[in-house]
């Protein structure tokens, strides 16, 4: 069996098209959705990510602004910068560059961003809504991973979904979204014993571990659907957490890296921003 390639670039085009239409609708009512990036330090990959999203936002008519803070910014200074964006009426969404420097934690962000402007679902309020099954902002990568299944006609209900990774932005929320879709969900993580024994039981395998080619051919069963969020820069380029070339020979469907979850995540961030703008202005 050679897998169907789940093409994230193609999927992102249709998400962006609908975002553009919704932005035009808002603009007709005099509302100009605006996303503000907060960058910390001069990390080249992070700044490249921000400028890529800025270009994408411009393509769909979303305005952007950027606040640049030094790498050693104190929690108090970050707090007051975010507080000024929380209070700024023209700002619909706030995206703080990740990963944060070691002296700051995502817990800090989860309590200082206004939940109405929390386009990446990081706040206590939005995380609580996710786990209570209420609608709210959900981390964009997790939404992207389940969106890929949805638009590809892959139905999680009744299937065994294995999620590798339990971070707040990828594994944990994706497991929650799969439960909502009636999948039977197993979450594996760094302390899981015999990871292969767990992943071989997966009908759907969702991976966000941050380890290049962690998932090898012997760890998957024929016919599995694989969605790989991993982004790992290596000497031979960016690779995922899954050995794509080997696993595509047995999977029924698989996302490539690059060109899989990444582009869909970017489009979902902008969709979340439009959700925020629409909700703020009723």
Nearest to 266 by CA among 125, 111, 60: 60
CB 156 within 8 A of CB 149: yes
Q: Which residues contact 84 (CB under 8 A, 6 or more apart)?
A: none
Which phi and psi angles does 79 have, rounded to 5°? Answer: -60, -45
Least Å distance between CB 198 and ligand NAD? 9
We find the least distance from the C-beta atom of residue 25 to ligand NAD, in angstroms, to be: 27
Closest distance of CB 260 from ligand NAD, Å: 8
Q: Is 233 helix (H, G, I), strand (E, B) or coil?
A: strand
In Å, the largest CA–CA distance within the chain is: 56
Residue carrying structure tokens 């899989």? 260
Contact positions vs ligand NAD (CB under 6 A): 141, 164-167, 169-171, 188-190, 192, 195, 208-211, 214, 229-232, 261-262, 265
d(CA 240, CA 257) in angstroms, rounded, equals: 5
Pick the closer one to ligand NAD by CB: 177 or 209: 209
Please identify, using beta-carbon distances, which residue of 45 and 70 lies nearer to ligand NAD: 45
Cα 16 to Cα 146, 199, 244, 277, distances in angstroms = 17, 33, 26, 16
- Least distance (Å) between residue 140 CB and ligand NAD: 7
The residue among 142 and 253 lying less far from ligand NAD, judged by its C-beta, is 142
Q: Which residue, 166, 212, 173, is CA-closest to 190?
A: 166
Query: Looking at beta carbons only, is 79 or 211 nearer to ligand NAD?
Result: 211
Residue nearest to ligand NAD (CB): 167
Min separation Cβ 97 and ligand NAD, Å: 12
Q: CB of 29: closest distance to ligand NAD in angstroms?
A: 31
Strand 34-40 versus strand 63-69 pairing type? parallel
Round to whole Å and give the CA distance between 154 and 147: 10
* CB closer to ligand NAD out of 64 and 164: 164
Is the Cβ of residue 45 or residue 158 nearer to ligand NAD in the bound state? 45
């Amino acid at each position: 069996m050679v897998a169907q390639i789940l093409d994230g670039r193609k999927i992102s085009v249709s998400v962006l098209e609908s975002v553009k239409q919704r932005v035009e609708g808002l603009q007709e009512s005099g509302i100009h959705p605006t996303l503000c990036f907060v960058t910390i330090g001069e990390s080249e990959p992070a700044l490249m990510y921000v400028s890529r999203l800025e270009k994408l936002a411009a393509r769909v008519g979303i305005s952007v602004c950027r606040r640049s803070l030094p790498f050693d910014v104190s929690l108090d200074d970050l707090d007051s910068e975010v507080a000024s964006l929380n209070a700024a009426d023209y700002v619909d969404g706030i995206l703080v560059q990740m990963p944060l420097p070691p002296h700051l934690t995502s817990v800090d962000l989860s309590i200082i961003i206004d939940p109405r402007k929390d386009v990446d679902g990081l706040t206590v309020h939005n995380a609580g809504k996710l786990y209570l099954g209420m609608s709210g902002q959900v981390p964009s990568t997790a939404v992207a991973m389940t969106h890929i299944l949805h638009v590809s006609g892959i139905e999680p209900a009744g299937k065994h979904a294995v999620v590798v990774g339990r971070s707040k932005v990828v594994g944990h929320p994706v497991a929650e979204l799969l439960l909502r879709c009636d999948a039977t969900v197993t979450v594996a993580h760094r302390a899981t014993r015999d990871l292969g024994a767990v992943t071989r039981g997966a009908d759907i395998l969702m991976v966000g571990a941050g380890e290049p080619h962690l998932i090898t051919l012997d760890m998957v069963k024929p016919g599995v659907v694989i969605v790989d969020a991993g982004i790992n820069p290596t000497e031979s380029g960016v690779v995922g957490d899954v050995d794509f070339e080997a696993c595509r020979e047995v999977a029924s469907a698989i996302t490539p890296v690059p060109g899989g979850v990444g582009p869909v995540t970017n489009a979902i961030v902008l969709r979340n921003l439009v959700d925020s703008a629409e909700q703020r202005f009723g």
